[in-house]
Every structure is written in C-alpha cells, then in structure tokens.
Structure 1
Amino acid sequence: MKFTLKTKLTLSFSLIVTIILTTAIFNLYSVNQVSKTQHRITDYRIETVNAEKEIKNGINQSLAALRGYMILGSDAEKAQKMKNNRQQAWKNIANGMAILKQGASHLSTEDQQQLKTLESLLAEFKDVQRSVEDIAQAPNNIPAYQLMLDQAVPTADALLQSITYVINVESQLSATAQRKTLLKLLADSRSSLATGLASIRAYLLSGDEAFKEQFDSKWVVNTQRFNLINSSYMELFTPEQAQDWADYSDARKAFESLPRQMFNLRSGNDWNKANVLLGTEAAPRAKKSLSILKNIEQHEDDALHADIAILNELSSGQNTAIIMSSIASVIVALIVAFVFSKDLLTRLEPILTKSKAITNNDLSTPSIIPKGNDELTELTNAVNAMNESLTITIRMTADTMKDTSLQADSIMPTRTCQIILANKRIK
C-alpha cells in the first residue's frame, strides 16, 4: 500500500485530533453526569433531608403543643394558641410528606415501603392527638377529679357546714368542763376533716403517697372524735345542735367511702385518660415514625455521600483525562515532528546533493537509493532518471560530434587536392 506524504500527515494529525475529540467527548459525558448528580443532590437529596427534618420537627412540635394544651387548656386564650401551634406543626408535616412522596422514585424499595408505613402511622398519630385534645379538658378526663368535684366537694362542704353550725351554737352556751371537752372534740373533728380534704386534693394533684397517708391519719382522728361524741356527749346537744349533728352524721356516712374511691382512681394507670392516650397511643406512634425517618435519613445521607464521591471521581477523571490527553497530544506531536523531520531530511539531503551535482554538470555521482513509497521516492527516482537521461544525452552528443569530426577529416584532403589542381591549370 502506498502511503503518500499527504496520507502520513493526515493520519498523524488525525491521531492528534482523535485524542482531542475523545477527551472532549469524555469531558462532555462527565459534565453531563456531574450535572445529573448535582441536580440529584440539590433538587432531591437536600430537599429530602430538609423534608425529613421538617417532619421530625413537626412531630415534636405537635406533641409539645398538645402537652401545652393539656396543661394550660383551661385558659381559653392559651388553649387556642396551643391548638394553632399544633395545626401549624401538622401543616409542616404534610408539606414534608408531600416532598418525600414526590421524590419517592429515588428511594430504595425498602424505603418506599417505609414511607407508606410512615404515612399510615402519621394519620393514626394525628387522630390520636385529636382524641387527646378532645378529652384533655373534658370533665371526665380525670375520673378522680370528677368524683371529687361531683360528690366529694359538695359532701365535704355539707360536712364542714354542719359541724361549723354545731360549733357556733356550742360556743354561745355556758361553759362547763364537759362542754369545753365537747367543743374541743368538735374542733378536732372539723380540723381533721379540713386537713384531710386538703390531703386528698394534694394526692390527686401529685399522686404522692405521703398525702394519702396523711389523710388516713386525719380520718382516724376524725373517726375517733365522731365515735366519742356519739357515745358520750350526745345528751349535751341542744335540739338545734342535734339536728345539725344528724346532718353531719348523714353527710359523713355519704363521704366515708369517697376518699378510697378517689385514691383508687388516682393510683390507677389510667387515672388521666389524656395522659394514657398520649403515652400508650400517641407517643409510640411518634417514636416509630421518628425511627422510620431516622432510617430513611441515614440511607439518604449515605446516598448523598455516594453522590459527592461520584462528583469527586468525575472531577478527578476530567482532570486526569485533560492531563493525559494533553501529554499524549504533545508526545504524538513530538514523535510526528521528529520522525517526519528525520525522514524528510535523511531522504531530501541526497536528492539535494544530487541536484547540485547535476547543476554543476557532474553526472558521475552514484544513483540515489530510493527509500519508502511516497512522493519523495518518486522524486528520487525522477532525479536518478534525469541524471541517467542527461548522461545518455551527453554521451550520445559526444559520439555524434566525434563522428562528425571524423567525416570532416576525411573530406578536407580531397578538397585540398582539387583546389591545388585548379590553381595549376589557371597558371
């Protein structure tokens, strides 16, 4: 196959162009991958992380607002503020879930299933919170309180009122040793009753067993005084006192079983229905939801680091490709320049020397040995052919001139003799 100079140059520069074009294509591919990865990071990964944080914050804020409502809900203004805070928290949760669902295609199959579970859990969580809110400030939320307000307080008021009437009448009667003792017993009864009622309220608020024990001790005192008055001092009562004492006795009988009922209700696990719902229904769902979010967030965090690693790898690959292609282009260019210059100079120098010799009419130099199979080879052959052609031409010219000279030499004597004879005749 004949490789002309044009072909060689075309192939050489095509190789350089191919290197540059390959590098450009690789860089375009890398730039496209970088763009896709950046899009995935900025438009999905970061949005997903922010959405997960928004949902987590919404869950915690909704619980905080619900607890605030349970504690401060008796104040209408504060109750409304807590409700508004909880509604805003759920709007944030809904917004975060919408973003997560929008980018669900980027999640793994496991995370997509967890997202469906999370959606179901949050719906249940919201319903439970609504139930807690509905019952938190309702009278039947704390049965022990309800019993105290509905029965214990009215009965205790009747007790205190009746014994106070008895004491007031007794304080206006003539003082005797027995009446002084009776008055002290009545005062002890009222004091122990009042202190016992305060202990009941304290226990219902705190659940501290010390207050229940305090009530029991005061009730023992009250019972002792009641029995002592009934057994030894009834005859001292005036008719009015006797009636008030009878009312006191009836009220005391009605009240006697109520403290134990309130204590039992307060000591039960479900003493506060709103708290029970919050602890057994709402909190576990919140905890599970947060756990699911943590798992998804961890997977997304891993994916984010993987995308960042891809970006670094693509960037490094681009730099490497540019450096390597530049080095390869320089090497190829140097090789082409060196090989071509050496080849051209090596083959042109004999041709130039031969041409100069011919110019100086020196045709005796040996023929140039052709190398390669290109235009320089043709030029070499042409110079050799020209040298040979000139040599042949000069040789032929010399031979012709020699023959002409010989012929001229043979013709000259004959003509001389003829001229001499002619001169003699003339004379």
Structure 2
Amino acid sequence: MKLTISRKLQLSFSLLALLFIISSVLTYRNISTVEQYVSSLLTSDIPTVDTSRGIQQSVQASLSSIRAYMLLGGDDQHSQQLNKDVHKTIASIDDSLPTLQTLISAQKFNTIQEQWQSVKKSLNQLLVLSHSRENLPAHNLFINEAAPIAEVALDQIQSLINEESSNPFGGERKRLFKVYADSYVSLANALASLRDFLLYGQQEYLDKYRDLIKSHKKSVAEIDKKLDRLTEEHASLWALFKEMQQLYFPLAENVIALRLSPEWNKSNQLMANELLPSAVALEQSLETVVQAQQQRADQSGQGINQSIQNVLTTMCIAIVLIVSSAIAISKYMGNTIGRRISLLSERAKTIAFGDVSQPPLKVVGNDELAVLTESINRMNSSLAEIVSGVTDKAQQVDVSMEDLLTSAHVTSLNVANQQASIEQMGSQLEEIAFATANTLEQVTLSVQKLSDSKGEIELGRDALEQNKITMETLHNTIATASTQVTRLSKESEAIGRVTEVIEGLAEQTNLLALNAAIEAARAGDQGRGFAVVADEVRMLATRTTQSTTEINDIINAIRHSTHSVVEEIDSSQSLADQGAEHIEKAVSRLLSTTQKIGQLNGQMVDLAAAAEQQSHATNSITVLMSDITDSVNQVSNHSQSAAETSSKVKEQVTELNRQMATFVTQ
C-alpha cells in the first residue's frame, strides 16, 4: 500500500504522541501521590504542629506573665498591663483550640482541653489571689493586728519616757528612764526584725527577733519591780502598755507560725501544686501530638522524595524512547522524501535564474511530491510561453516610445521660447513698477518729512509763546522783588534810628551807673550793695552800647547789599524786556514759515496721489503678466513631465527587454 507524505507524518507523530501519553500517565500517577503527601503536610501535619507549638508558646507566655504579675502586680501602673497580657494569652489559646480540634482525634483533643481548663482556672485564681490579703496571711495578720497593737504599746512607753524626761529628780528615777528607753528600743527593733523575717523568711531574723523580745521582757520585768515609784498617771500608762503587750505576743507567735507554714504564700503554693503540674501535663500532651505529626510529616516527605524519583525515572525513559523514535523517523523520511525534494529544489533554482528551457522532470510515486513535480513542469512550460510573448510586446512599445519622445521634445522647445519672451516682458514691467513705487515712496517720505517739520515748527512756536509768557512773569517778579528790596532798605534805616536811640539810652544809663557808684563809695559799707548793683548796671549799659554798635554795622551792610540788589534787579528787568521783544519777532517769523510749509505739503500730497494711481495700474499689468507666466510655466511643466514620463517608460521598456533577455526559452 502506497502512503502519502501526510499519512506517513501522521503515523510518525501518532507514535510519538503515544509515547508522550504513556509517560504522562505514569508521571500523573506519581504527581498524584506527591499531591496527596503535600496535601497531608499542608492541611494536617504542618497546621497541627504550628497550632500545637503556638499553644505551647502561649502557655509559656501565660506562665511568664502570671509570674510577672505576682511580682509587679502591686504597682497599679504594671498591674493593668500584666493583667491584660494574661487575659490576651488566654484568649489566644481559646481561639487556637477550635483549629486544633479539626486536626487531631477527639480523645486527644478532650484530654488537651481538660488540661487547658485546669491551667486556665489556676491562672484566673492566681490573678485574683496574688495581691489579695488572703495570699499572705502572716503579713496580713502582722500588718492589720500585731503591728498596730505593738505601735500602741510603743506609744505608751514613749509617753512614759516623755513624762519621765521632765522629772527633776535623779538617782533611781534616771535608772527608770533608762529602762523605759531600753524597753522601747528593744520592742521597736523586734518589730523591725519580724518585718525582715516576714519579707525574707530567714532564720537569723527570727532569732534576732526572739533575742530582742527577751531583752524587752527583761526591761519590762525590771519596771514591774519599781511600780511603787510610778505616779498614778504613769501607772495608768504602764497598765495600758501591759494590756497591749499581752495582746501582741500571741498575735506575733501566730504571725511566725503562719510564716513558717508551707502555705505562707498561697499564690506560690497554688502555682507550684496546681498550675505548673497542669501546664507540664498540657505541654506533654501537646508535645505528644507534635511528635506524632512530625513522624507523619517525615513519612510524607519520604513519600514525596520517592515519588519525585519515580517521576524523574519515568521522564528519562520516555525521553530516551521519544528521541530514538524521532531519530528513526527522521532518517526514514529523509531517505524517502529528501532526495525527491532536492530534485525539485534544483529545478526551482534553475527557473529562478531565468532558465525555462529545461526538459520536464520525471514524476515518481503517487504522493504530494508527485503532484508538486507535475505542477513545476507545467509552470516551466507556462513561463516559457509568457516570456516569449512579453519580449515581443516590449519591442513594439519601445518603437512607439521613440516617436513619443521626439514629439514631446519639439513641444518643449516651443514652450520654452514663449516662456522666455513672456519673462522678458515681465522683467520690463517689474522695472517700471519698481520705479513707480520708488517715486511714490520718495513723495510719501517728503510729505511725511514736511509734516514732521511743520509739527516741529509749531512746537517751537508754542515753546516761544511759553517763553514769552515766562519772560513776562519774570519781569513782574523782578518788579515785585525791587519793591520788596526798597521796602527792606527803608526798614533798615528805621532800625538804624532805633539803635541810635538805644545807644543814647545806654550812654545815659552808663552815666547814671557811674554816679551811683560814686554815691555808694561815699556811703561806705552801707552803700556796698548798692555799689555792686550800680556796677552791674554799668556793665549792662556797656554791653548794650557794644550790641547797638554791632547792630549798626549789620544794618549798614544790609543797606549796601540792598542797594546792590536793586541795581541788579534793574539790570535783569531791562534784559527781560529785550528777551520778550526778541521772542515776539521769532514767533512772527515761525508763523510765516509754517504757512509756506503747509502750501508745499498740499502740492506734495497731490503728487503722491498721482504716483499712487500710476503704481496701481503698473501692478495690475504685472499681475496679468504673472498669470500668463504661470500658465506658460504650467504648460512647460506638463510638457517636461510628459517627456520625463516617456523617458521613464522607455527606460522601463529597455529594462524589461534586458530582463526578458535573461530568460532562456530555446
């Protein structure tokens, strides 16, 4: 049976696909096993271990927090935070237990839950008991009963000491005072030692307490022997002390007995006897769960490794089989199909190089390559016929394009001559238009300059008018200043007359002062004060005379300066009058010049209008000639384009003939 190429390829790929399917099935089975192990790790083993470890850590955290609370809970600042930490840890474990319930057996979970409830109960009891009065009964009894009674007893002894210190008698009274003090000190030190024993529980503090109590009792016994020396008030205080003492001693022994008892700290006892054993049992149960799950996790890991090894082995075998099959198929296909494809490739290259004169190939077989061989044979013969027909048609087109190029060349020459004539005419019109435009521009500039000159002259006339007004104002100002200076001269003369009067008065005052001094000298000691006054008056008259002399000098200087100013003002007034006359003449001449420039400006405006009309006419002719030039240029361009197109077509026909010559048909 003869098979087609597609059938052969299908069978080959089917064999390879079968090998792929077999290897895939085996790989899938191994991967399914891996997935089962991984699922067990992810859904059971690892969550169980993580949850159990988390509960173990939370239990340890709760123990640490409760220990810290027992130590620092007496401080309100730390008590609330530590209490919150303990409850937070308890809540965390309560939240983790439902997760653990889904991961382990019911029996194990019930055991763990019972153990946790026991731990939780102990934690809550410790939170309540740690800093309550019931926690330390010995401390409570000492602080609330024994210590207050002892303090009352000490107060009585202190009162006795205070009373005895004011007693003026000596001898035995001083000895009694010393015994009071010894009794007080020994009891106070005994209380301090008992406090130390309660805090630290060491035997040395208890022994010290008992020694101090013996010393105290010895002092009390000595005082009891001297009761006849006590006053009534002292005896009353001592009786009250003895009563407090009898109450204190039994309480103190109870305090010591409670402190020596194993249950002296109930919270520590509760923690040691209940909380820690329950926590250890819970830890062991969780550790058992963790160990079991870790063993399962190890088994799952070993199963995963074994499955991966199986997958790798299967893939290696499949790769070897597939590669071997592929090599065998490729060799067979190369020997049966490659040779025939090589012949077809050689014939295709021959046709590609233009040789279509080869004989037809021999058709072998009944597959797709046989059909392809027949198609190449038919293509070879068809190309030979087409090349022959195209070569003939190209030669005919070549002859026709020669005639078309000749006609296009003649047309281009005629159009070029017309274009040259029109361009020459356009150049002449442009020169005329340029000259007209230049004339118009010069006229316009002249008109503008005349207008500017007229404006400048008018501005100059206005400035002269303003100068004229300014000169008149200056003339009036100078006249006013002359009047004021004349008035100042007259007032200076009046001041001079006043100073003459003052000078005369000063001379008379000087004479009067001289006469007064003479009279004072005649009066002797009685006229000495009057002589001093007369001397002062004389000195004042002298200074007045000097001042009037200086004022006269200043007034004379003012008169001289005023006279000079009057002369200068008269000279300035004459110059101002001459300036006003010259300005009046300049204004008249500028007015005449302005009128003449206005007449000339009108004539230049008429000339500009005529030049502008001539420019418009020349521009219109230039535009018409430009349109004609554009039309001729378009005709010339079209002619050139036609010639270029004809040349390109001829070149393409020549190239076609050259290319067709590469085909071999005979």
2:72 alignment counterpart: 72
Alignment of 1:374-385 (within 5 A): none
The CA distance in 1 between the partners of 2:209 and 2:215, in whole Å, is 10
The CA distance in 2 between the partners of 1:297 and 1:159, in whole Å, is 64
Q: Which moved more, 1:325-334 or 1:259-268?
A: 325-334
Question: Contact 1:54 / 1:92 at 8 angstroms: preserved in 2?
Answer: no
Does residue 266 (structure 1) correspond to residue 266 (structure 2)? The answer is: no
Q: How far did residue 82 of structure 1 move? A: 1.5
1:386 alignment counterpart: none
Question: Contact 1:69 / 1:83 at 8 angstroms: preserved in 2?
Answer: yes
Relative distance call for 1:257 and 1:24 in structure 2 (3 A) is: same
1:356 alignment counterpart: none
Q: How far did residue 175 of structure 1 move? A: 4.4
Q: How far did residue 78 of structure 1 move? A: 2.3
Relative distance call for 1:229 and 1:16 in structure 2 (3 A) is: same
2:557 alignment counterpart: none
2:114 alignment counterpart: 120
Q: How far did residue 329 of structure 1 move? A: 4.1
2:182 alignment counterpart: 188
2:131 alignment counterpart: 137
The CA distance in 1 between the partners of 2:236 and 2:26, in whole Å, is 108
TM-score by length of 1: 0.71
2:319 alignment counterpart: 326
Deviating beyond 3 angstroms after TM superposition, the runs of 4 or more aligned structure 1 residues are: 9-20, 328-338
1:101 alignment counterpart: 101
Does residue 207 (structure 1) correspond to residue 201 (structure 2)? The answer is: yes
In structure 2, give the amino acid aligned to 1:268.
Answer: S
Q: How far did residue 27 of structure 1 move? A: 1.2
Does residue 292 (structure 1) correspond to residue 280 (structure 2)? The answer is: no
Deviations 1:63-118 (A, max 9, x none): 222222223333334222122111110121122222211222xxxx6xx5333211
Aligned with residue 310 of structure 2, among 313, 317, 337: 317
Q: How far did residue 264 of structure 1 move? A: 1.0
The CA distance in 2 between the partners of 1:225 and 1:333, in whole Å, is 120
3-state SS of 2:264 partner: coil
Matched residue pairs, number? Answer: 331
In structure 2, give the amino acid aligned to 1:166.
Answer: L
Larger Rg: 2
The CA distance in 1 between the partners of 2:111 and 2:156, in whole Å, is 62
Q: How far did residue 60 of structure 1 move? A: 1.6
Alignment of 1:26-425 (within 5 A): 26-104=26-104, 112-231=106-225, 233-330=226-323
1:402 alignment counterpart: none
3-state SS of 1:140 partner: coil
Q: How far did residue 306 of structure 1 move? A: 2.2
The CA distance in 1 between the partners of 2:244 and 2:197, in whole Å, is 22
Deviations 1:255-283 (A, max 9, x none): 11222211111111111112211111111
In structure 1, give the amino acid aligned to 2:203.
Answer: E
The CA distance in 2 between the partners of 1:77 and 1:13, in whole Å, is 81
- Larger relative contact order (CA 8 Å, sep ≥ 6): 1
Q: Which moved more, 1:214-223 or 1:124-133?
A: 124-133
Root-mean-square deviation over aligned CA pairs: 2.9
TM-score by length of 2: 0.46
The CA distance in 2 between the partners of 1:93 and 1:26, in whole Å, is 45
Deviations 1:35-80 (A, max 9, x none): 3333332343332222122211211222222222223333334222
The CA distance in 2 between the partners of 1:257 and 1:185, in whole Å, is 24
In structure 2, give the amino acid aligned to 1:220.
Answer: K
The CA distance in 1 between the partners of 2:126 and 2:216, in whole Å, is 40
The CA distance in 2 between the partners of 1:284 and 1:271, in whole Å, is 20
Q: How far did residue 172 of structure 1 move? A: 0.8
In structure 2, give the amino acid aligned to 1:223.
Answer: K
State the identity %.
24
The CA distance in 2 between the partners of 1:50 and 1:183, in whole Å, is 76
Question: Contact 1:196 / 1:218 at 8 angstroms: preserved in 2?
Answer: yes
Q: How far did residue 19 of structure 1 move? A: 4.2
Q: How far did residue 31 of structure 1 move? A: 2.2
Q: How far did residue 144 of structure 1 move? A: 0.6
Q: Which moved more, 1:160-169 or 1:29-38?
A: 29-38
List gaps (5 residues or longer) in structure 2.
4-8, 337-666
Question: Contact 1:199 / 1:211 at 8 angstroms: preserved in 2?
Answer: yes
List gaps (5 residues or longer) in structure 1.
345-427
The CA distance in 1 between the partners of 2:129 and 2:178, in whole Å, is 46
